[in-house]
Each structure stands twice: as structure tokens, then as C-alpha cells.
Structure 1
Amino acid sequence: MLEVILELILDSAEAAFLEVGVFVGFVLLLFGYINYKKAGDFIGSIERSKKWQPVLGALLGLTPGCGGAIFVMPLFFKEAVTFGTVVATLVATMGDSAFVLIASHPTAYIVVSFLSFLVAIITGYIVDTTDIGSNILSKYKARKKSKEEVDKSHQDVDHALLHYECQRMSGCKTDFIEHIGHIEGDEIDLLLHHKLKGHQNHDTLGYKFTHNSFYLYWLLLSVALPFSIALLWQVDINELFIPNLGLVIGILGTIFSITMMLMSKKFLGDDTHEETELKIMSLKETIIHNAQDTAFVVTWVFVGFLAYELLVLAIGGGDYAVGENLIETTLLATGILSVFIGAAIGLIPGCGPQIIFVALFTRGLIPFAALFANAISQDGDALLPLIAIDRPSAVWATIITTIPALIFGLILYWFEINTALWALFH
């Protein structure tokens, strides 16, 4: 039995890195570069286009990862966007789990994105017809500190790290990190840059490791890319010129990823408002943080794959084939429950649990409707700055995004089991 479990661990490590992680890394790098070049301009467009804000928010939310969506959250408290725009952005956001879906099931990603976009727009405009946003804003204003209190607090906090970042990067227009969605010295700055965990101090082992080893990580991803492409063509990469070379690369990649994630001290969420701003200011920081983001995704995919394999083995009483048959039977019998489970998991802030849920979809354990419900319900890392700034608004946003997740998830489940959708994604 121990030999079987060890084999499952090694196979899961290989699959997490070669089947998913490598593609995630290069897709992340592409979108990271686009975000580096265009995110600031897009945020400006949202602020100027009052009538189309929920549509633009939904478009920004569709961008894989949470970088764009994170920037929208403070804008609501600056009265630059509506609460419906915040909700539309969160509904459309899939966070880092989007990269897993792009790498493994691009067709499912396209369908989820299209439907999420429509649901996001509808939900956003409905929210803006109510007084929810204005009530949240008025209560926030009643609780917030006076300008004198904020100025005093701002004088007392340590700014050395922010100064240091600007000295390291070219193009810094001010003495501090160039903020998006708020200004230096306001209450949001205190919450997002001094109370919410941002990037690491530069004298820590974690910072030194991640900022010096990212070259090796990208090199390993580049070496692994041909093997990952070969897997797409059903080539047995472990029977090529060097036996088990694919297995070795996959295991090394997953171990490197886990180490990178631990050194980054990121577990449920992998992106903060402050780090996202750094990525906008520096291409090097974008590349470094994209390596950390990839490692984060690979680690959680590995956990998801291994959890699935061990579950199959346990259900089958040590017989893997029996376990697979039992899981398939159970899935057909209780599939509708998975829609509620997907929406419930989406309530958890951060991207880690969501990545596991998508990884289970790639293994055929959950129906497409459950994946969609999770995609609508989850807010990724974008909810974290909202929690830091104003928890009641985060609670409202979470409740609101869960409602369409359940409604449309159940509708889609009915279509899935009664049409060709089931055959398309299974």
C-alpha cells in the first residue's frame, strides 16, 4: 500500500507541474505583461465611464488572475465606481484558478468566461438599481477616521520599505510606490500598505530566495515546456531518450514550486494590492511575482490532484479501478449537490481552495455546472483588500455574488444533464 501511495504522490507531482504548471507559468507571464502595460489605463477608463462601469468591471474581472480586479476595490470608497461595478468585477473574477482551466480545458474556460461576463453585467446593473451601494458608503463614511487622525497615523508608520522599492525601480514618479485607486497618506493607504500583509522585508530569507531563484524557476519551466507540449500529443515522455526524464523534471518542478510558495509565505491568497502595484511599476517585479504566482498554482494543483488520487484509492478500499467506478456512480447520483458545494467553496477568500476545486474538475470529479457556480461565487484575492478596507461591504459582496452562482449554476446543471453539455465536458 505504501508503494502505491508513493507512486500516486510522484505521479501527482509530475502531472501538476508538466500538465498544468508549465502552461500556467507562460500564460501568467503573458497576462502579467499585459497587466504591466495596460492596467493603469484601464482603471482610468472605468473611472471616466460612469454609464458602462459594470461592463468594464466585468471585462477587467475576466482577466485571468486578480490583478485588475484588486484595483477596482478601493475605487468604490473613493466614489469613483459604483458598488454594482465592484460586484460585476467580483462575479467575473476566477482568480488564479482561471490559469488552471486555460491550461487544461480551454473550451470550458471560454464557456465559463462568456457566461460569467453576462451574469456579471446583469448582476452589476441590478445592484446599481438598489440602495445597497449608497447605504454601504454612508456607513463607511460614518466609521472612517478624520483627516487629522489619518495624517497622524500616517506619520507614525514606517515608510522605509516603500522608499526602498522606489529607489530600486526606475520610473517612480513620487517618493513612494505609485498607487492605483487611492493616494499616498489616505486611510486606504494605511489599510492596504501598512496593515494588510504586502511584500516581504528585503532582509528575510524568503525575499532573498524568491528574488534570486526566480531565474532558475523560469529556466526549469522553459526546459519543461517541450515535454508538456509532447504530453498534449499523447507522447510517453518517460520512454524517450532518457528513461523517466519527464517524471524527474515534474517532481523537481513541484518541489521547487512548493519551496517557492513557502518562501513567499502565501497559502490561501497569493496577491495583495501592494504587490500588484509593484508589478505595474516594474517589469522585473512582474516576472518575479509571476514566478511566485505560478509556484502557488502548481502547489495547490498538486494538493488537488493528490487529494483526488488518495480519495479514489480510499473509496476503492485500495483498488484504484473500483474507486473510480464508485466515484463516477456517486457523481451521477449527487451531481446537483456539487453546485451548492462549488458556490460554498467560492465563499472562501483567496485562490487556493478554488484552484483545488478546478483541479478536481479537470479530473472529472465535478460537473461543469458546479465549476461555473464556483467561478461566479469566488472572488479570489480581490476580496482581501475589500475586507481590509470595510468588512461589511465584503460581506455584502460575498452574499450577492453567491446568489447568481446558485441560480445560474442550477439552471446550467439542468441543461448539462439534459443536453450535449455533459458529453462536451466529460
Structure 2
Amino acid sequence: MNEFLRVLLESLRDGYVQVSAFVAVTVLAFALVQYRTDGALLAAIEDNERLQVLFGGLLGLTPGCGGAIVVMPLYVRGTVSFGTVVATLGATAGDSAFVILALAPEAAAYAYGVAFVASVATGYLVDSVGLGVSRVDAAVATLSPARSDGGTAVAGGVRPNPTHDYGGPAPTHAHESGPDRRSRVLTPLSHGLHLAWWVTALAGLVLGSLYLLRGGPEVDVAVGLGFDGLFTVAGVVGAALSVYLYLVGRHYVGEGEIARARDNFGSVYDTLTHAAMETSFVTVWVLVAFLVYEYAVLFTGINVATVAAAAGALAPIGGAAVGLIPGCGPQILLASVYAEGGLPFSALTANAIAQDGDALFPLLAVDAKAAVVATIYNFLPAVVVGVALHLLWGPVLGMAEFGFGVL
């Protein structure tokens, strides 16, 4: 029981201080840019047709899914090309990027850099020569009727799509802000805990930075005014507040719908609220990933790194296959396992290219066929690049490919 509790407290503490506090800063920075530019970023993308694929890749490269999500409605409106969609989804770092950036920054630089180059190159090839998009589009149509006109076959995969007509206004990635529930008790409580969350996040950022400057030493689970005590208290309290905001508080402070980008924000407080709720979402999944991994090792004694090493070239293929799963949860789990030294760098890179994160959901909702086709065109380079890294880099680095860039 003591070991069980120790793993729980360490996972809560480390997940928040080592990951979430840094996530909060990144998400807030991106949200503040949106707040200050008031949607000008989208207009710049639409007005520069030749650079759309590059812009899409850069937006996908931003940690989290917000940058990629804003591109999907532009494709539906017919103002960006299908190659832009492919490049954006392929370069999407997703919420798992926060885990790798915090725990393995060198690996993140290489993995997401490779994903960006591969995805942008694929996007430009799709727009310039088609790469058989129309045939893939037709093959997908035989499996399931498209909810819309499909778009990619209409344009042959080489031009921006014509404006789609869905019998109503064009879909938008903006969502209604404001609380979807009200309570005399929970509304003021949630706002108060939201502010407490930011105070804890600031403390966690300071403690996390000191932890990195000290070289990532072992930190005992403790309570007190010393470094170990403050590190533990800030981490556990921050994790608990994140769980509350994700499960309950977001419905009472104005961000009931998470993992969706916003065109703009009405105020600085609105921006802070959005950043806190998005970070809480990431925190919960990071905690789940940490706990699943740690308890699996504790109760089974399995060595994930040994299993992955035995898999050989199947490891990057498996990483790409995990990337096919929409959403950020599975990707955060994979990133956490990598940070624990359980997966090779080739698997991380393949997953970085193949994953679409939450950005695929808005496209699935209005053009399921285009979403499936784009996913296929991300999976193929993910497998090629992942296996190539395994065959070319793996023998050179040997087991150093496991844990590459991990702090």
C-alpha cells in the first residue's frame, strides 16, 4: 500500500510540476497572440496561396492542437488547398508535444523538425502532382458515403477546393464562450479555484525551472518549506485543481468545450480561463499516462523498453499506428512511455508525423472522407520515415536510440 501511494503522489507531483506548469505558459502565450491579433492570422493564411502549405505546417507544429484546428474550417470554406490540410495534420505536434518538450526537449526538436519537413513536402507534392489523391478519395468513398461532396476528388487534389455547400453557413472552429452551467456555490467556487490554479501554476513553473537547473535530481515526497516539500505540495495541489477544473470547473467558468481553438478572446481573463482549461485537459491525460505506465511496471515487472527493442522495425510502425487514433490521449501515453525510456526515437518520430490530435475532429464532422484521405497520406510518410530512422540511425546509436534527448 505504501508503494502504491508513493507512485500515486509522485505521478501527480511530477506530472504537474515537470509538464503542466510549462504547458500553461505555452498555451497562454498562443492564446495571447490570438487575443492581440484578433483573427489576423487566419486572413494572412487565406491571402497567401503559395505559402499556405508552409503556414499550415507551422501552425501544426505549435504545441497543442489549437494551431492545426484553425486550418480545418478554411479547407471547408474552400480557401486553402488539400495539401495544406495534409501538411497541417502531419506536422501537428498535439498535446503530447508538451510532454516531450518538458521531459525530452532535444528529442522534441529532432522529432518535430523531421515531422515538419516530411509533412510540408508531402503537402506540396499533393498540391502539385496529386499523388493519386483522387483515386484514394474514390476508394474511401466505396467504404462509406461521404457526408459532403468530398472535395478532394472534385479538385483532383491539386487545387484549393471549391466552396462547399452544406445547406447552411460554413462551419467555423470558434465555439460559444461562456458557462454552460450556473450554480450559487459551484460558480464562485470554480472561479476562485481557477485563480488558485494560476497561483499554483506560477509556483510550479518556478520550482520546475529550479528542478531543471539542478539537473533533475531525485526529489523525495515530503511536506514542508524546503525544496522537496514545496515541490511535492505544489505538484499535488496543482494536479488536484487541474482534475477539478477539467471534470467540473470548466462548465462554470466559461470553457465547457475544451480542445477547440478560438478565433479571439473577449478579455485577458477570458484568455487566462481558456489557457487554464486547455492545460487542465492535458494534465489529466498526462496523469493517466503516468499512472498507467508506473502501475503497469509496478504490478507486472514488465520492461517496456525490452519489448520495444525486440519489436525491431515494428516499433516505429506501431508508433505510426497509434497516431491513427484521433485525439491526444493515446499520443500523450506514448510520449510518456518514451520519456520513461520505453520506446525508440524512431517510434516517437513516426507517431509525431501520423498523429492528428484533436484537429481531425472538426474535419471529420463536416467532411469525413477528406479526413480519412488526409490521415492515410500522413500514415504513409510516418511509416517510411520511422522505419528509415530505425534502419539507418538505430544501428549507429544502438540502445542510445532509447531515451535519446531525455533529461
Residue 65 to residue 100, structure 1, CA distance change in 2 (3 Å): same
Larger displacement relative to structure 2 (43-52 or 129-138): 129-138
1:72-87 equivalences under 5 Å are 72-87=71-86
For residue 277 of structure 1, what is the amino acid of its counterpart?
Answer: D
Q: Does 1:188 align with 2:145?
A: no
Contact 1:10 1:251 in 2 (8 A): yes
Residue 295 to residue 134, structure 1, CA distance change in 2 (3 Å): closer
1:390-401 equivalences under 5 Å are 390-401=367-378
Corresponding residue number in structure 1 for 2:3:
4
Corresponding residue number in structure 2 for 1:370:
347
Q: How many angstroms does 1:43 deviate by?
A: 2.0
Q: Does 1:123 align with 2:102?
A: no
Corresponding residue number in structure 1 for 2:32:
33
SS at match of 1:365: coil
Q: Does 1:221 align with 2:227?
A: no
Corresponding residue number in structure 2 for 1:24:
23
Q: How many angstroms does 1:85 deviate by?
A: 0.5
Task: State the alpha-carbon separation in 1 of the partners of residues 92 and 2 from structure 2.
Answer: 40
Corresponding residue number in structure 2 for 1:422:
401
2:181 aligned residue (203, 218, 238): 203
Q: Does 1:271 align with 2:252?
A: no
Q: Does 1:355 align with 2:355?
A: no
Corresponding residue number in structure 2 for 1:309:
294
For residue 68 of structure 1, what is the amino acid of its counterpart?
Answer: G
Corresponding residue number in structure 2 for 1:15:
14
Task: State the alpha-carbon separation in 2 of the partners of residues 305 and 100 from structure 1.
Answer: 11
Task: State the alpha-carbon separation in 2 of the partners of residues 18 and 117 from structure 1.
Answer: 28
Contact 2:46 2:79 in 1 (8 A): yes
Corresponding residue number in structure 1 for 2:145:
none
Corresponding residue number in structure 1 for 2:59:
60
Residue 226 to residue 68, structure 1, CA distance change in 2 (3 Å): closer
Contact 2:77 2:164 in 1 (8 A): no
Q: How many angstroms does 1:336 deviate by?
A: 2.9
Residue 56 to residue 247, structure 1, CA distance change in 2 (3 Å): same
Identity %: 35
Residue 110 to residue 19, structure 1, CA distance change in 2 (3 Å): same
Task: State the alpha-carbon separation in 1 of the partners of residues 290 and 111 from structure 2.
Answer: 22
For residues 75-94 of structure 1, the C-alpha deviation after alignment (integer angstroms, 9 at most, x for no partner) is: 11222110001110111111
For residue 203 of structure 1, what is the amino acid of its counterpart?
Answer: R
Q: How many angstroms does 1:15 deviate by?
A: 1.0
Corresponding residue number in structure 2 for 1:49:
48
Q: How many angstroms does 1:48 deviate by?
A: 1.6
Q: RMSD of aligned C-alpha atoms?
A: 2.8
Contact 1:76 1:86 in 2 (8 A): yes
For residues 249-302 of structure 1, the C-alpha deviation after alignment (integer angstroms, 9 at most, x for no partner) is: 22111111111111237xxx93224xx1244x5432221111111111111111
Q: How many angstroms does 1:327 deviate by?
A: 3.4
Corresponding residue number in structure 2 for 1:171:
none
For residue 97 of structure 1, what is the amino acid of its counterpart?
Answer: S
Q: Does 1:93 align with 2:92?
A: yes
SS at match of 1:292: helix
Residue 58 to residue 302, structure 1, CA distance change in 2 (3 Å): same
For residue 271 of structure 1, what is the amino acid of its counterpart?
Answer: A
Contact 1:64 1:95 in 2 (8 A): yes
Q: How many angstroms does 1:141 deviate by?
A: 7.8
SS at match of 1:383: helix
Q: Does 1:413 align with 2:393?
A: no
Task: State the alpha-carbon separation in 2 of the partners of residues 218 and 354 from structure 1.
Answer: 26
1:279-318 equivalences under 5 Å are 279=265, 281-316=266-301
Give the number of equivalent residue pairs.
368
Contact 2:346 2:387 in 1 (8 A): yes
For residue 278 of structure 2, what is the amino acid of its counterpart?
Answer: D
Task: State the alpha-carbon separation in 1 of the partners of residues 24 and 391 from structure 2.
Answer: 35
Task: State the alpha-carbon separation in 2 of the partners of residues 288 and 138 from structure 1.
Answer: 42
Residue 334 to residue 200, structure 1, CA distance change in 2 (3 Å): farther
Task: State the alpha-carbon separation in 2 of the partners of residues 313 and 255 from structure 1.
Answer: 23
In structure 2, the gaps of 5 or more residues are 135-150, 252-256
For residues 34-88 of structure 1, the C-alpha deviation after alignment (integer angstroms, 9 at most, x for no partner) is: 3433473332222122122211211121111222211211111222110001110
Task: State the alpha-carbon separation in 1 of the partners of residues 363 and 154 from structure 2.
Answer: 12
Task: State the alpha-carbon separation in 1 of the partners of residues 326 and 191 from structure 2.
Answer: 26
Residue 333 to residue 198, structure 1, CA distance change in 2 (3 Å): farther
Corresponding residue number in structure 2 for 1:162:
none
Task: State the alpha-carbon separation in 2 of the partners of residues 308 and 116 from structure 1.
Answer: 26
Task: State the alpha-carbon separation in 2 of the partners of residues 207 and 59 from structure 1.
Answer: 38
Contact 2:49 2:80 in 1 (8 A): yes
Q: How many angstroms does 1:408 deviate by?
A: 0.8
Contact 2:190 2:245 in 1 (8 A): yes
Residue 119 to residue 141, structure 1, CA distance change in 2 (3 Å): closer
Corresponding residue number in structure 2 for 1:345:
322
2:210 aligned residue (226, 230, 233): 230
Corresponding residue number in structure 1 for 2:153:
135
Task: State the alpha-carbon separation in 1 of the partners of residues 288 and 346 from structure 2.
Answer: 23
Task: State the alpha-carbon separation in 2 of the partners of residues 78 and 33 from structure 1.
Answer: 26
Contact 1:258 1:295 in 2 (8 A): yes
Corresponding residue number in structure 2 for 1:248:
233
Task: State the alpha-carbon separation in 2 of the partners of residues 96 and 39 from structure 1.
Answer: 24
Corresponding residue number in structure 2 for 1:105:
104
For residues 207-237 of structure 1, the C-alpha deviation after alignment (integer angstroms, 9 at most, x for no partner) is: 7665553211100111223322232214555
Task: State the alpha-carbon separation in 2 of the partners of residues 397 and 408 from structure 1.
Answer: 17
User: Which structure shows the bigger proportion of residues in helix conformation?
Assistant: 1
